[in-house]
């Protein structure tokens, strides 16, 4: 499925509105609660998700939406061959701690594969879009600027990496010993940490080359960033190199991802 220009404009407007909600709540103060799995949730997560759900319902009334906080509330639509995955505030731990690595995410899945993604980082105004094969771009826009326009828009294309000097990016909040072992096994010493789905986007911009992840993620955490990276020429596979697919609704914990390796220009 192709997201047309009018729909992309509506989705961009929606993620900016969600970003504005998130920043306003951060400025005005908020309380963090723990969900059943122990992960934090705030009013920013919930309100931003409602902004995105409203737009998706208007623009794509016949496409199911799997959204993180709705799933937590027990609302799990049947995904079908075509469905959206939404994480309105990915990186809630960073948000709660006062960091800047949090993002607004919308990903579109077709037959298990991400075909469209939009990732917005409200704190620094970076937006990343993957709209199809070889059609990915980044720009900057301030969500608080009324009528603001995209600035510094640039196409995204992964670049070949030096196999002797790979730059890895790893989770800031969830880096584990398995990740450290994998990095040592592949002789990768140059490692930076970042939170949220921005890690996929930094592979697409060639600011890093590879991102291994062994710790748990859910499909809404990865879909949008995966789409951006894939549209920029990168790839995501399971740890063993097999296909990393979406729509895992029938497993014991619905939509839980296996470990993966995301690659920009890395040959391994």
Which tens digits make up the pLDDT trace of 99-157? 999 999 999 999 999 999 999 999 999 999 999 999 999 999 999 998 889 999 999 99
Walk across the sheet containing 82-90 and list its strands.
65-67, 82-90, 103-110, 113-121, 126-132, 135-140, 151-155
Q: Does domain 5-155 have CATH number 3.30.540.10?
A: yes
| pLDDT score of 15 | 98
Q: Do 209 and 233 touch, CB atoms closer than 8 A?
A: no
Neighbours of 88 (CB within 10 A): 29
Which residue has tokens 């992309």?
8
Q: Is the pLDDT of residue 176 over 90?
A: no
* Element (DSSP H or E) covering residue 21: helix 5-28
What sign has the CA pseudo-torsion 211, 212, 215, 221? positive
As a whole number of angstroms, the distance between CA 257 and CA 123 comes to: 27
What sign has the CA pseudo-torsion 219, 122, 131, 229? negative
- All CATH 3.30.540.10 domain ranges of the chain, comma separated, are 5-155
Q: Do 199 and 262 touch, CB atoms closer than 8 A?
A: yes
| pLDDT score of 19 | 98
Quote the crossing angle between the two packed helices 5-28 and 43-59, to the nearest 10°. Answer: 160
Which tens digits make up the pLDDT trace of 179-222? 999 999 999 999 999 989 999 999 999 999 999 999 999 999 99
Q: Is the pLDDT of residue 173 over 80?
A: no
| pLDDT score of 251 | 94
Q: Which residues pair with 84 in a beta bridge?
A: 65, 108
Give, in order, the Cα–Cα distances in Å from 217 to each of 70, 90, 146, 170, 260.
17, 11, 34, 13, 10
- All CATH 3.40.190.80 domain ranges of the chain, comma separated, are 167-263
Q: How high does pLDDT run on average in the chain?
A: 95
Fold of the domain spanning 167-263 = D-Maltodextrin-Binding Protein; domain 2 (3.40.190)
């Amino acid at each position: 499925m192709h997201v047309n220009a009018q729909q992309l404009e509506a989705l961009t407007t929606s993620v900016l509105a969600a970003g504005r909600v998130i920043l306003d709540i951060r400025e005005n103060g908020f309380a963090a609660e723990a969900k059943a799995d122990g992960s934090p949730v705030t009013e920013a997560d919930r309100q931003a998700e409602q902004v995105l759900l409203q737009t998706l319902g208007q623009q794509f009334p016949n496409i199911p939406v799997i959204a993180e906080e709705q799933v937590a509330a027990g609302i799990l639509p049947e995904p079908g061959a075509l469905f959206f995955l939404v994480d309105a505030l990915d990186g809630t731990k960073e948000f709660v701690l006062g960091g800047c690595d949090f993002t607004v995410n919308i990903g579109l899945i077709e037959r298990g594969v991400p075909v469209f993604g939009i990732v917005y980082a409200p704190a620094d105004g970076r937006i990343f879009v993957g709209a199809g094969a070889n059609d990915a771009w980044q720009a900057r826009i301030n969500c608080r600027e009324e009528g603001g326009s995209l600035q510094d828009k640039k196409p995204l294309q992964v670049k070949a990496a030096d196999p002797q000097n790979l730059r890895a990016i790893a989770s800031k909040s969830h880096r584990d010993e398995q990740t450290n072992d994998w990095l040592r096994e592949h002789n990768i010493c140059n490692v930076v940490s970042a939170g949220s789905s921005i890690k996929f986007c930094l592979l697409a911009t060639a600011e890093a080359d590879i991102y291994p992840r062994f710790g748990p993620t859910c499909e809404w955490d990865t879909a949008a960033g995966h789409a951006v990276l894939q549209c920029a020429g990168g790839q995501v596979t399971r740890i063993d190199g097999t296909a990393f697919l979406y729509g895992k609704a029938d497993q014991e914990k619905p939509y839980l991802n296996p470990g993966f390796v995301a690659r920009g220009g890395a040959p391994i």
